Amino acid sequence: MNMRNLIVFSLLSLFMGLFLVLAFSLAGSGGVPQSMGVNNSFGEIKIKRMVAPDFSLDLYDDREIRLSELSGNVVVLDFWSSWCSPCRKEAAVLAEVYLEYRDKGVVFLGISIWDRDEDALAHIEEFDVQYPSGPDSKGEILVEYGVTGIPEKVFIDQRGNKVRKFTGPSTKDELVAILDDMLGSGY
């Protein structure tokens, strides 16, 4: 074997080894990176009030929405997946609270992650989710908002600032208290 063939063989072996390590580590976690997944700790995460990063989301109903278009409203970003038990647990609650607040200056925006479109659409239909939802196919929004698991909700005030973040499923009482507080004080 000449030197060139030896180098090519060595590089191919190295890349195959790295690929196998990555493949086995993802297979053991269901395809989700180990540091991410279903949230096991629930509650509010303290965040620094700052301007919410703008993004565009292609919705499941073939429309597109930009976060900046929602300025002047309280916005609830709901990060979820159809296979996530806590997400399923809170889906009906979110759908109900949305219907109560949609005419009060509150916009819900569902962002599905780590999901297949057909499964996400079945979830939306099963729980009668009427607020706009779409996939974060490239994971860009997920990274921009520091999402580490699901479900997670980020609350954005009328001026476009991230003001609150919650992990785990929320109850109706929790959501109502947060939204009433945000609407009442103007944050």
Average pLDDT (102-125) is 98
pLDDT at 26: 45
Dist CA 97 CA 172 (whole Å): 7
- DSSP β-ladder status, 152-156 and 161-167: antiparallel
Per the structure, the complete domain to which residue 16 belongs is given by 1-31
User: What are 65's strand-pairing partners?
Assistant: 57
The CATH number linked to 127 is: 3.40.30.10
Residue 23: phi and psi, rounded to 5, are -60, -45
Q: What is the pLDDT of residues 131-181, one digit of tens each?
A: 999 999 999 999 999 998 999 999 999 999 999 999 999 999 999 999 999
- For the purposes of burial, counting CB atoms within 10 Å of the CB of 85, is it exposed (0-12), middle (13-18) or buried (19 or more)? exposed
| Judgement on whether residues 80 and 11 belong to the same structural domain of the protein | no
Residue-averaged pLDDT of the chain? 86
In the chain, how many domains are there?
A: 2
Q: What is the DSSP letter of 98?
A: H
